[in-house]
Structure 1
Amino acid sequence: MASSAFGEIHYPRYGCGKGFEDLPFCNSRLPIADRVDDLVQRLRLEEKPLLMVARLAPLGNISRLGIPQYDWGANCIHGVQSRCGRGSDGKVRCPTSFAAPNLLGATFNESAWWTMGHIIGVELRSLWKQGKGENHPPTQLPPLGLDCWSPNINIVRDPRWGRNMETTSEDPFILSRFGVQVTKGLQEGKEDKGRLQAIVTLKHFAANELEGTWKGPGGPAEYPGTGMCPGRKCTRHTINVNISSYDLASSYLASFRSTVVEGGALGVMCSYNSINGYPSCANKWLLNEKLRKDWGFKGYVTGDSGAVADIYHQHWFAPSMEDAVAKAVEAGTDVQSSGWPSGHAWSTTNAEYLKYIPDLVRQGKLSEEALDEALRHTLTLRFRLGLFDDPASQPYEHLSPDIVRRSEHLAAALDSTEQGLVLLKNEKGTLPIPEGRKIAVIGPHAASRGELLGNYLGQICPGERQSFACVETIFEALSNLTQQVTTAPGLPGISSEVDPKILAEAVATAKAAEYIILALGLDTARIEKEGQDRHTVILPPGQLALLDAMIALKRPLTVVLVNGGMVAMTPVKEKADAIVEAWYPGFFGARAIARAVLGHSNRWGKLPVTIYDEHFTEQFDMLSFDMTKSPGRTYRYFTGQPLWPFGYGLSYTTFSLQILGSSSIKVSQAGGSAKVDVRLLNTGERAGDEVVMAYFSPKEGTLPAGCAATLLRKELFAFQRVALQPQISATLGFTLTAASFQVFTDAGDGVSYAGKYTVLLSTGSVDVTMDVEVEGSPQQPLVLQPWQAPAKTTSVVV
């Protein structure tokens, strides 16, 4: 064990070193299952929980068998959350940082999602090899592991949720495709087809949709006993979410199922909350019946940090902490994430698995078979990563440190950022701003650096771990591309009230310009973040006052919004000439924004969420997880009028869309498919990107009367993104099968009903429709995803 810069400590990384080569579990010619079984039977009872706690450095090693410690839980939401490494020339190379996932969702680009996953995976391998630690304060940093606690594929249920920036969409199909592609890119490396590159850990399983403290639609307060948080404050640790089988299957579990079944995800994190009376990390139905038996999951399950303790302390689901540990292990929580052990520099609490498991087994309260099964789940992955094979024979061991932050990785980050900005309004051709015009960049985000990046950050710049000096501001990025750019903040800070002197300076600066870019929005330090929801969906009052001051100048005004959860921007929509939704645009965000507003790029995305008006908080209870209850959550069920609908987004060019062939087709429940070709033509004078989205809507009479699915307005089932030069067209093919029209029964089964449907093909601006008939038995739907077990309290954990 050796120390390095930043207080990091280097540990042995591979097992089966000198003196252990002859042990059967070290024989790489044997099947991995046999090797794992041999190792498990050699472990002593007291040693077993050492391999079941997420962060135990410097513990977690079993020296008598040559097993090194291993740290579960590197975070990789949009880049490896680690310290910088060094290249072969000795220069600092920090991990590539992409835009926040809410922007990535707006790209509607599966190849971009795969690319990000691959870059994170290969950079993690290199940084792990270098012994880098996570980006925490520099006191004996725990080393990285090769599993990422990402992606976050929880649905965007409510814009007030503090972690909307971590996930991609309110749509289960987009979440599913994002999860599948990130998983494939991260786990399936190019360098070594026989071993895993790294491991994803899908989070948070399931329905983890609350961060703050709530009393219904009002605000933070004690929540009266209703069975949701009886007699206690409603937080992410205490809440019991009541969810129907329909909503579980169609909204909350859909992305997890797809990412496990199709993507092959090998890690899942169970969440803090309870579902229908049972804590997620003690839920046999969720972790065993659904995840492993129904979906065929072959990986490991970790609890979120402190979630095992919550089973006892917060949910009162077990009579003691010992019993909570037994319930967690037996339900399928293979790894506990808790604080570091007492006496360690990183200690917060004792790890309950270490403290209680041996005695639970001796007392017959926990079967050793369940314990060994958990060990097989975790150890199998360490073997598949090559951590018990000769490192010299592994391609990953020979990765150059120069692969971190290589130029191709940076180009991919910029490329995806440009594709995720959304142009919401562009009156009178305000954008792009003509060359040579005087531009004033005003607003609290005009000079933002770290505030553009979102959360869960690795070290971005050389030097201090939270230095953002190398991040361009929007003002700097524009100044680097054009002349005559000035700036003023307009406000003392993101959430500040108006300061008359600072406002007057901004007005004077803007008045001297020909165009104004007003950078407004939220941040992850004070307004929305892990552990903190918003209680409003509007901009801070000071920013609205600044907006009015800029409007009064009667200059062409472009508002750029920086945010995670959507902002109800009625006054912005009414008063601004152009609006750019920039999300948390990341390291290259300012450059992408500057290139877009100056017309150097025309690669806009589409809204992956609905933008509601300011009355949203009056209409929706933050504690209701019912997706269909009037007026309905997300574009799939919402019956009101949004400010901007899901899928909306403009461009500097125009497109036409035409169905080639018949606008009425048939598919059969018995099998087979039909292909629909559409012609997308760039009818404008600029090159540009466009997205074509395919939705279906069941026609009246197709679904059984009164079922929840009759409230479905439309459902996305395919999308394609394409770049086109002016006056050039592309033919896009969409394959339809009976499965394309899957809905869910009230019991949770995924089915396809015989009957008539409308298919909508849309760019968000141009729509074409066609009629589709699914042929088959009107009395017997085609069952595509049987629910297997009723999601009822009595059938979950006993």
Structure 2
Amino acid sequence: MSTPAPLPPDRAPDRAPHREPCRDPARPLDERVDDLLARLTTDEKIALLHQHQAPIARLGIGAFRTGTEALHGVAWHGPATVFPQAIGLAAGWNPELVRAVGAAVGDEVRVFHHKDPAGVGLNVWAPVVNPLRDPRWGRNEEGYAEDPWLTGVIATAYGQGLAGDHPAYLKTAPTLKHFLAYNNETDRCTSSSNLPPRVLHEYELPAFRVPIESGAAIAVMPSYNLVNGRPTHLSPLINDELRTWTTDDLLVVSDAYAPANLFGLQQYLPDGPSAYAAALRAGIDSFTQDGTDAAPSIERIGAALDRGLITVADLDTAVRRTLAIRFRLGEFDPPELDPYRELEPELVNCPAHRLLAQDAAREAIVLLKHDGQVLPLTTAVRVAVVGPLAGTLSEDWYAGTLPYQITALDGIAERLGQAQVEYCEGVDRVTLRVAGTLSYLTVGGDAVLRIGTEAGEFDLFDWGGGAWALRSAGNGQHLSVTDDGELVADQPGPNGWEVKQTFGPERSPDGLLLRHLHSGQYLRIASDGSVRLAADGTAFELAVVIDGAARAATLAARADVAIVVAGNHPLVNGRETEDRAELDLPAAQDRLIRAVHAANPRTVLVLSSSYPYAIGWAQEHLPAILWSAHGGQEYGRALADVLFGEHDPVGRLPQTWYHSAAELPDLFDYDIIATDATYLYFRGTPLYPFGHGLSYTTFGYDGLRLSTPSIGADGEDGEVRVAFTVTNTGDRPGTEVAQLYTRQQRSRVKQPLRQLRDFRRVSLRPGESVEVELTLAAADLGFWDVTRDRHCVEAARHSIMIGRSSTDLRLTATLDVRGERIPPRTLGRLAATSFDDYCATTLTTATRERGDAVISLEPQAWLAFDDVLLTPATYQARVANRGNQPATIQLRLDDPLHGELLGTLQIPPTPDLRELQLDSTYTPTGTPAPAWSPAPGAGSGRIRTVEVPRTLYAVFSAADLVLESLTV
């Protein structure tokens, strides 16, 4: 979507002589923005830089706010249509459906906005495009895929739906979250993501680029973390990259309370005015800070202006972007021109949106395993439906309020009738007795937890990660903690931003301690018999009154089929602010599945979760397994459609499922290339591969043909058409997702083992065939060449692979690409970040404002630069020593420990980069090497000319040594 042209005369009202240019829809957008900007005072401009922009009555400007959450429905404003979680929408591999969902959500945002224009803004904070590098990330359910290209495709579809298709007006202004390299919640405001150039350009940036280039994204939000030591809110990439991908004004909004982190948690800048000034110069246009209170931000920006840290021109640049978005949303035009003015309140959760929610939930279901013996079900069976998620649906943090719930139990009972279904949650019912006494925890009629002689009974929900929830059997409400520390049973379940309904069991010599996870304090019995939170806890003895797994097994034994519905609660053990440590199912759920299967081998596992699990035992023993993300209000009907074969399972996994967390690199290591992470580089055999998903029918592939065996890197012959035939070889109708992958067979650098390039969904009757044709461009087969700091398509042979998943590849062909050969490096400028390999180093800032460098983490750390040609010249090295003792960087050939020593840099302690200079002329072999002539006080070293390309190592003698570059 490009900047709209002015309305034609037959669409615009007659231009009145008194109308200001900014109010004239027939004028170009830039002219209108310029006019309104010129009418604003400096104070008014500053006030427009906060999330909550107050009205300016003298100019007839209304209130405006950024940030309506719309990830998979309108959130936080009451009942609205709730679609599957974002990762579930992506699992359908259906951009057209995702676009329809986005359009429905956009319509509902508009309806809420009509009701409350100041409270419900049209700048929506969705979609999330962080590639799902690590399934332990707490916000896994918010993203789309571990593949950046697929993420971009789905995000573009959702953004296009949100933005609408009107040629002049935006329905909403979608905002991409979160820029950049954000996949950990642990220490998210203070941790720094290591991002080498190839990972930046090949993995992180592409997911953002496609939606921006297509016009599907109107705004971007930076993330909380730092990247290479610099807060993302100060990243030069905002202006240097993001804004070069579009000719439209791209609005950049801060994340909530992130501006204060710059001088608070991150201690990157000394105070508020300097932090706000730096963010404004870096490209931040709107500050999300202090809730609705704009005063602190206005004060800091004003102080920055008074101190000369920013200029009025800086204000104008940011305000212009905000105003441009408001114009494109139609705010300053006559109401009769608003194409969305007639959207009725009844549109929210209307029948069409309910059907769309069911379609989306159905297509999000992935059949992970199917032996053909149990599914699809018939209506003649008796079914035991068990599990903690069988009879309930849960809202995640960014979900709308569910207007109704169709649970798995509801959906199955609709098909079979209540008489053919038995149900239990399969959780233990327990009592908690004060150790060494006859007193029990109990819940009174006022819902307050206290001690009594009668045992209170609690249903114990194990959500994994050491998190329990306790529900009173007496009143059916979950145990929680009030703001004044009182223990009460008055909540329907875990809920809210600060979840206060979970407790961690801890063993002590005296018994079981219960730690309230939110506060970190323990349940303690006071002298008056009341139960409070305290720094030390009272020990309890837990007794099981009803064994949930045994009860479920009893139901399963007398049923024809048992269906276990398990998974996570989306606000517990893996959510925003909380990563997972492991991939295992909660222990109680694992025990439940095993017990039910032992009682009835015809057991189907249905997982509803925000993320992948390690379910190796289930894969080995159960006849059928299905997964979907939390599916929204129509989940149960969608599940029944698939279970009973009314709809072929069409979902495909958008990320790899592993056998255990041991197969993953460190959560904080973002270098997917070096760590063999994601399906692109993972060398093991996954539990379920990227792209995996089974059908009730089977498909055959044949006839792979390339339109040409060879293509050029660019020009008219830079594309190849890939054609093949897909046939439904089974006896049922089905939908296949045919996937195209490539692999570069030889390269100067480490290449992905396989990489998704395109896919096509085809629906086929039994015996029906269809020819699929996909187009592959040579430019898409390139990578980031660190030696020249640019995109490069190498001369190489590529494998063209067609199949059902990233590992189930059925057809292969070879394509020759006539690209370039990367020449040897010369030290015109050798950036430290252009390394080919490394050990015990990470990236850091070169200067506070711009540039990256490499810092050693321990002694004998090193960087390797392949194909280096050292020639006679005057060389300089930019180095620093942030440690306390003098140290060295050695330059060696071919081996970091025993390779030929070329020179040694003596570096005294200094936090700032300084230059060491080498005056060199060519000297024949065997003559003395030229001396290194350092800047005063910097030490000295020696080096000689090397005429054949070799591998150059920079070896650090200690931690905290910084190398930015070697230059001529």
TM-score band, normalised by shorter chain: 0.7 to 0.9
- 1:255–1:608 Cα change, 3 Å: same
| Partner of residue 401 from structure 2, selected from 443, 459, 483 | 459
- 1:563-605 CA deviation, whole Å, 9 max, x = no partner? 1121111121122111001222222222111111111111321
Distance 1:612 1:663 in 2: 37
- 1:333–1:531 Cα change, 3 Å: same
Return the letter of the residue paired with 2:327.
F
Quote the residue 2:960 is aligned against: none
Return the letter of the residue paired with 1:402.
E
Distance 1:567 1:499 in 2: 29
Distance 2:568 2:309 in 1: 49
Q: Is 1:287 matched with 2:238? A: yes
Asked whether the equivalents of residues 85 and 631 of structure 2 are also in contact (C-alpha less than 8 Å), the reply is yes
| Partner of residue 347 from structure 2, selected from 394, 403, 418 | 403
Shift of 1:154: 0.3
Quote the residue 2:281 is aligned against: 330
| Partner of residue 134 from structure 2, selected from 158, 164, 183 | 158
Asked whether the equivalents of residues 413 and 421 of structure 2 are also in contact (C-alpha less than 8 Å), the reply is yes
Shift of 1:777: 3.8
Distance 1:662 1:457 in 2: 45
- 1:779–1:528 Cα change, 3 Å: closer
Matches within 5 A, 1:375-414: 375-414=319-358
Distance 2:819 2:198 in 1: 23
Asked whether the equivalents of residues 659 and 676 of structure 1 are also in contact (C-alpha less than 8 Å), the reply is no
| Partner of residue 61 from structure 1, selected from 55, 60, 63 | 55
Distance 1:180 1:74 in 2: 18
- 1:419-478 CA deviation, whole Å, 9 max, x = no partner? 12111111242211222111001111111222xx543122322xxxxxxxx201111110
| Partner of residue 476 from structure 1, selected from 410, 425, 438 | 410
Quote the residue 2:180 is aligned against: 206
Asked whether the equivalents of residues 712 and 778 of structure 2 are also in contact (C-alpha less than 8 Å), the reply is yes
- For the residue of structure 1 that corresponds to 2:547, the secondary structure is helix
Asked whether the equivalents of residues 444 and 520 of structure 1 are also in contact (C-alpha less than 8 Å), the reply is yes
- 1:326-382 CA deviation, whole Å, 9 max, x = no partner? 11111110001122355xxxxxxx654212112321332211101110000000110
- 1:637–1:130 Cα change, 3 Å: same
Asked whether the equivalents of residues 383 and 422 of structure 2 are also in contact (C-alpha less than 8 Å), the reply is yes
- 1:245-274 CA deviation, whole Å, 9 max, x = no partner? 111111122100121113442100011111
Asked whether the equivalents of residues 370 and 623 of structure 2 are also in contact (C-alpha less than 8 Å), the reply is yes
Q: Is 1:490 matched with 2:490? A: no
- 1:619–1:661 Cα change, 3 Å: closer
Q: Is 1:339 matched with 2:383? A: no
Quote the residue 1:217 is aligned against: none
Distance 1:499 1:274 in 2: 50
Matches within 5 A, 1:238-317: 238-283=190-235, 285-293=236-244, 296=247, 298-317=249-268
| Partner of residue 161 from structure 2, selected from 168, 185, 190 | 185
Quote the residue 1:124 is aligned against: 109
- 1:98–1:653 Cα change, 3 Å: same
Distance 1:722 1:583 in 2: 23
Asked whether the equivalents of residues 20 and 65 of structure 1 are also in contact (C-alpha less than 8 Å), the reply is no
Quote the residue 2:487 is aligned against: none
| Partner of residue 735 from structure 1, selected from 775, 781, 784 | 775
Shift of 1:281: 0.9
Shift of 1:306: 0.8
| Partner of residue 698 from structure 2, selected from 646, 649, 654 | 654
- 1:388–1:536 Cα change, 3 Å: same
- 1:371-420 CA deviation, whole Å, 9 max, x = no partner? 11000000011011110011123222222333333333222222222112
Shift of 1:173: 0.9
Quote the residue 1:696 is aligned against: 742
Matches within 5 A, 1:618-767: 619-630=664-675, 632-661=676-705, 665-671=709-715, 672=717, 673-700=719-746, 703-704=747-748, 707=749, 710-746=750-786, 749-764=790-805, 765=808, 767=810
Return the letter of the residue paired with 1:771.
T
Distance 1:534 1:676 in 2: 41
- For the residue of structure 2 that corresponds to 1:312, the secondary structure is coil
Shift of 1:796: 7.1
- 1:192-236 CA deviation, whole Å, 9 max, x = no partner? 422111111000001121113xxxxxxxxxxxxxxxxxxxxxx11
- For the residue of structure 2 that corresponds to 1:691, the secondary structure is strand
- 1:778–1:242 Cα change, 3 Å: closer
Quote the residue 1:89 is aligned against: none
Distance 1:566 1:572 in 2: 13
Shift of 1:294: 5.7
Q: TM-score, normalised by structure 1?
A: 0.84
Distance 1:795 1:726 in 2: 64
Matches within 5 A, 1:769-784: 769-779=812-822
- Structure number with greater Rg is 2
- 1:594–1:264 Cα change, 3 Å: closer
Asked whether the equivalents of residues 432 and 597 of structure 1 are also in contact (C-alpha less than 8 Å), the reply is yes
Distance 2:596 2:327 in 1: 60
Distance 2:670 2:17 in 1: 53
Shift of 1:743: 2.4
Return the letter of the residue paired with 1:29.
A
More strand by share: 2
Quote the residue 1:176 is aligned against: 152
Distance 2:462 2:794 in 1: 50
Shift of 1:293: 3.3
Quote the residue 2:368 is aligned against: 424
- 1:502–1:351 Cα change, 3 Å: farther
- For the residue of structure 2 that corresponds to 1:162, the secondary structure is coil
- For the residue of structure 1 that corresponds to 2:760, the secondary structure is strand
Distance 1:20 1:427 in 2: 76
Q: List alignment gaps of at least 5 residues for structure 2.
A: 1-12, 428-459, 469-504, 506-543, 825-830, 835-842, 851-968
Quote the residue 2:861 is aligned against: none
Distance 2:85 2:292 in 1: 33
Quote the residue 1:221 is aligned against: none
Matches within 5 A, 1:586-601: 586-601=632-647
Q: TM-score, normalised by structure 2?
A: 0.70
Distance 2:656 2:345 in 1: 42
Displacement over 6 Å in runs of 4+ = 789-792
Shift of 1:754: 1.8
Quote the residue 1:6 is aligned against: none
Distance 1:718 1:618 in 2: 27
- For the residue of structure 1 that corresponds to 2:68, the secondary structure is coil
Quote the residue 1:32 is aligned against: 29
Asked whether the equivalents of residues 664 and 771 of structure 1 are also in contact (C-alpha less than 8 Å), the reply is no
- 1:91-114 CA deviation, whole Å, 9 max, x = no partner? xxx432210111111111111121
Asked whether the equivalents of residues 668 and 737 of structure 1 are also in contact (C-alpha less than 8 Å), the reply is no
Q: List alignment gaps of at least 5 residues for structure 1.
A: 1-15, 85-93, 133-141, 213-234, 343-349, 462-469, 782-786
Asked whether the equivalents of residues 793 and 819 of structure 2 are also in contact (C-alpha less than 8 Å), the reply is no
Matches within 5 A, 1:41-120: 41-55=38-52, 60-84=54-78, 94-120=79-105
More helix by share: 1
The alignment's C-alpha RMSD in Å is 2.4
Asked whether the equivalents of residues 256 and 288 of structure 2 are also in contact (C-alpha less than 8 Å), the reply is yes
- 1:744-789 CA deviation, whole Å, 9 max, x = no partner? 32366332222201011111355111111112444579xxxxx9x9
- 1:665-711 CA deviation, whole Å, 9 max, x = no partner? 222224232212111111111111110110100113xx11xx2xx24
- For the residue of structure 1 that corresponds to 2:150, the secondary structure is helix
Distance 2:328 2:708 in 1: 49
Higher relative contact order (CA 8 A, sep 6+): 1
Aligned-pair identity (%): 30
Quote the residue 1:797 is aligned against: 849
